[in-house]
Amino acid sequence: MAERKLSKMERVEDVGRTTVAFVESVGNGGILVAESIYWLLFGVRERQPVRLSAVIHQMMEIGVRAIPIIFMLTGTIGVMLAIQGIHTLRIFGAESRVTIGIAFSVVREFAPLITGILVAGRSGSALAARIGTMKINQEIDALKVMGINPTRFLVVPALLAMLVMVPALTLFGIFTGLFAAGLYVNADLGISLAAYAHDTIDILSLDDLGHGLGKSVIFAILIAVIGVVNGAGVQGGAEGVGTATTRAVVQSISAIIVTDMLFAFVATR
Amino acid sequence: MSRNPATILEERNKRQRPQSGPDAVIEVEDLVTHYGDRMILQGVSMEVREKEIMVIMGGSGSGKSTLLRHLMALENKTSGTMRILGYDIDKISRKEFLEVRKKLGVAFQSGALFSSMTVGDNIMLPLYEHTDLDPLTMEIMARMKLEVVELSGFEDLMPSELSGGMIKRAAFARAIVMDPRVLFCDEPSAGLDPVVASALDDLILDMRDAMGMSIVVVTHELDSAFKIADRITILDRGKILMIGTVEEVLKSKSDRVQALLNRTPEEDVMDPDEYLDRLVGESNPGTAHL
């Protein structure tokens, strides 16, 4: 059926509805974080503690199973940075200084960003799909009737696992990226791995590492909250789950990139 | 299909039914609820007594599923009062609410088993969350409940490996694992073949007789309702049409009740101008887009 042309008033209404939905999502996300903190702190007192086994299970899913792909992609990014860096610096005859560019780029920018995007695509989508499917299958209702708080049971373990595993994967990505870049630099420029490592440690400060890891903590919260809010908002059947999953990935990645830019702006002032 | 009341009552009398208690486990008074601007329940008042099987019936869109969700305290109402196990749910503390919830069990239409857990883990979940029992005792209790629903030996399977009837029985096992005082069943026999559906009806009766729980069943299956119900609540467009025993329902003189029992569709007389307006859509900017 042909789509009906919307009147100006209807367009304004659409914008209004979208704005309200966005504000509502942000509000839901805030409530979710507050509720998660509450259950984390007072769960034991309420006789509904957060189960360590559930957190470990989520850590395995989010973190350990992501190691191969993080290894492959951060390694590739490291090599790519080395290639581009050497190519650019060769113009000025300063290719031996490539270590500076690689070290700052990997630690402050690429390792956290690539890790965040990968976790959003892999685990944020899985979280949205899982919660969405549970909602349409009435599993969330079943939890409520059983007296099990869904935030405590489903969200807190995922959020905690993200908070631990995203920075851990970022750290792993930093080492992998730097190491892979070092191998290329060694092959191309003949700089030994020991000299490369020495230069890298010399250049980097704890602030740089804190910058990268600090960002990854914010990314972890964004991925978990966006995944849960989209999953919990699923309407309809399987199609609704698909839509929510796609939306969760797009929103997470967008939020990560925007946050990354804001973080870089604030941190470099 | 017209049903002979005498045959239905004779069938029912083959099984001895325990007397339901005088106390109400659930009391609803003047319940009003909306979804957006649409009023779904319009002043519903009813009660579920101790050890009785209350069947809620009604046509599609009559509000029976919404009423069930309210009875399980899963929805926010617009107005009215509701007491579950003696507690007014508007005045209840969080701790008391949790205690009330532990005494409710629910078997959803889809079963709502957690797909990432085995059948056994699904059944043990309420025990794991709410008791300090050791794992072996929990396993034994789960096996006992699986035995009740004739699913022993299936505890290590995943829900995806079970048939529709088995999923519903496993959901019953999970619903009764904490020995609830009230059990809610949403369309227990929907989508099942008549033999399996009849076996589930027997299971509901057995659970009430053996465990003395009150059971609220939402169904549109007349045979099932007549077999298991102590009393029936009939909803129509968000209002209660009648509440009564099976005999009272069968002998009701109400045209709407008889139409429901005989599955006669309601005559929908529509104003031609209104129909045309609805088709054209553009004449009314407030309506949904085609």
The whole-angstrom separation of Cα A216 and Cα A170 is 7
* Low-confidence winner among A214-228, B4-18, B71-85 (lowest mean pLDDT): B4-18
The whole-angstrom separation of Cα B183 and Cα B207 is 10
Whether residue B148 is contained in a domain is answered as no
Which one has a higher pLDDT value, B89 or B261? Answer: B89
Residue A192's pLDDT band, with cuts at 50, 70 and 90, is very high
pLDDT in tens, B162-196: 998 899 999 999 999 999 999 999 988 887 888 88
pLDDT mean over B123-138: 93
* Low-confidence winner among B19-33, B39-53, B94-108, B177-191 (lowest mean pLDDT): B19-33
Residue B223's pLDDT band, with cuts at 50, 70 and 90, is confident
Whether residue B91 is contained in a domain is answered as yes
Q: Which contacts qualify for A147-151: CB closer than 8 Å, 24 or more apart? A: A147/B98, A147/B101, A147/B102, A147/B126, A147/B129, A147/B130, A148/A48, A148/B125, A148/B126, A148/B129, A149/A39, A149/A48, A151/A32, A151/A35, A151/A36, A151/A39
Percentage of chain A with pLDDT > 70? 99
Could you state, in order of their start, the residue ranges of all structural domains in chain A? 52-267
B73: nearest Cα among A146, A133, A154, A47:
A146
Q: Given an 8 Å threshold on Cβ–Cβ distance, is B106 in contact with A10?
A: no
Predicted pLDDT at B261 = 82
Q: Given an 8 Å threshold on Cβ–Cβ distance, is A10 in contact with B104?
A: no
User: Which structure tokens are listed for A126?
Assistant: 């899985």
- Where do the H-state alpha helices sit in B158-193? 164-176
Residue A204's pLDDT band, with cuts at 50, 70 and 90, is very high
Whether residue B142 is contained in a domain is answered as no
The whole-angstrom separation of Cα A241 and Cα A243 is 5
Please report the sign of the dihedral spanned by the C-alpha atoms of residue B93, residue A42, residue A215, residue A184: negative
Which one has a higher pLDDT value, B200 or A251? Answer: A251
- Name the residue among A4, A146, A153 with its Cβ closest to that of B289: A4
Whether residue B149 is contained in a domain is answered as no
Predicted pLDDT at B276 = 75
- Name the residue among B101, B112, B130 with its Cβ closest to that of A139: B112
Predicted pLDDT at B190 = 81
3-state helix, strand, coil in chain A (%, to 5): 85, 0, 15
What average pLDDT is seen over chain A?
Answer: 92
The whole-angstrom separation of Cα A34 and Cα A148 is 18
CA B287 to chain centre: 34
Whether residue B206 is contained in a domain is answered as no
Contact residues for B114 (Cβ-Cβ < 8 A; gap 6+): A134, A139, A142, B121, B122, B125, B159
* Low-confidence winner among A9-13, B98-102, B189-193 (lowest mean pLDDT): B189-193
* Cβ atoms of residues A221 and A160 within 8 Å: no
| Domains held by chain B: number | 1
- Using the predicted structure, report yes or no on whether residue B282 has a pLDDT greater than 60: no
Domain that holds residue B252: 5-103+211-280
Tokens 């050497």 sit at which residue? Answer: A86
pLDDT mean over B89-98: 88
Q: Which residues in chain B have their CB less than 8 angstroms from residue A48's CB? A: 129
* Cβ atoms of residues A195 and A96 within 8 Å: no
If residue A143 lies in a helix (H) or strand (E), which one and from where to where? helix A139-145
Whether residue B267 is contained in a domain is answered as yes
Whether residue B88 is contained in a domain is answered as yes
Predicted pLDDT at B288 = 34
Predicted pLDDT at B18 = 63
Give how far B73 is from chain A: nearest CA, Å.
8
- Using the predicted structure, report yes or no on whether residue A1 has a pLDDT greater than 60: no
Residue length, chain A?
Answer: 269
pLDDT mean over A204-218: 94
